[in-house]
A and B are shown apart, each in its own frame.
Chain A
Amino acid sequence: MKPPPFAYVAPDTVEGVVGALVDAGEDAKILAGGQSLLPLLALRLGRPSVLVDMGRVPGLDTVRLDGDALVLGALTTHARLGRDPEVAGPMPLLAEVAPLVAHAAVRNRGTLGGSLAHNDPAAEWPAVALLLGASVTAVGPAGSRTIAAGDLFESYLTTALAPDEVLTEVRVPGVPPRTGDAFDEVSRRHGDFALVGAGARVTLDAAGVVVAAAVVFIGVDGTAVLDEQPGLDLAGRAPTPEALDEVARAAADRLDPHDDLHATAAYRRRLAATLACRTLVTAAGRAAGEARP
Chain B
Amino acid sequence: MSAPDPAYELDVELSVNGEARRARVEARRSLAELLRDDLGLTGTHLGCEHGVCGSCTVLLDGEPVRSCLTLAVQATGRAVTTVEGLAVGDDLHPVQQGCLECHSFQCGFCTPGVLVTAAALLDEVPDPDEATIREALSGNLCRCTGYESIVEGVLRAAELRREA
Contact = CB atoms under 8 A, between A and B. Distances in A.
A104 B5 CA distance: 34
Nearest to A83: B124
Interface in B5-48: 5-8, 10, 26-30, 33
B68 A42 contact: yes
A4 interface: yes
Given A5-B26, A109-B70, A11 B2 contact: yes
Contact of A13 (B2, B60, B71, B73): B2
Interface residues of B, number: 36
B57 interface: yes
A108 B139 CA distance: 12
A10 interface: yes
A42 B49 contact: yes
Interface stretch (A14-22, A135-143, A150-158): A14-22
A9 B69 contact: no
B63 A8 contact: no
Kindly name the residue among A41, A53, A103, A191 whose own CB sees the greatest number of chain B CB atoms within 10 A: A103
Given A8-B10, A39-B50, A191 B139 contact: yes
A170 interface: no
B85 interface: no
B33 A1 contact: yes
Given A43-B50, A105-B139, A109-B70, A5 B28 contact: yes
Nearest to A192: B52
A148 interface: no
B64 A7 contact: no
A16 B4 CA distance: 10
A108 B69 CA distance: 11
A39 B51 CA distance: 7
A2 B117 CA distance: 25
B157 interface: no
A241 to B, nearest CB: 30
B86 interface: no
B8 A7 contact: yes
B153 interface: no
A20 B66 contact: no
A239 B51 CA distance: 42
Contact of B6 (A4, A9, A12, A108): A9
A190 interface: yes
A106 interface: yes
A104 B64 CA distance: 7
Contacts of A79: 63
A25 to B, nearest CB: 11
A9 B5 contact: yes
B74 interface: yes
A51 interface: yes
Contacts of A20: 3, 6
A10 B1 contact: no
A147 interface: no
Nearest to B57: A105
Contact of B65 (A3, A19, A53, A109): A109
Interface of A: 1-13, 15-16, 19-20, 24, 31, 34-35, 38-39, 41-43, 50-53, 55, 79, 102-106, 108-109, 190-191
15 contacts: A1-B33, A4-B28, A8-B10, A8-B27, A9-B4, A9-B6, A11-B3, A34-B71, A35-B66, A38-B50, A38-B51, A39-B51, A42-B68, A104-B136, A109-B60
7 closest A-B pairs by CB: A103-B139, A8-B27, A11-B3, A7-B6, A16-B2, A9-B6, A39-B50
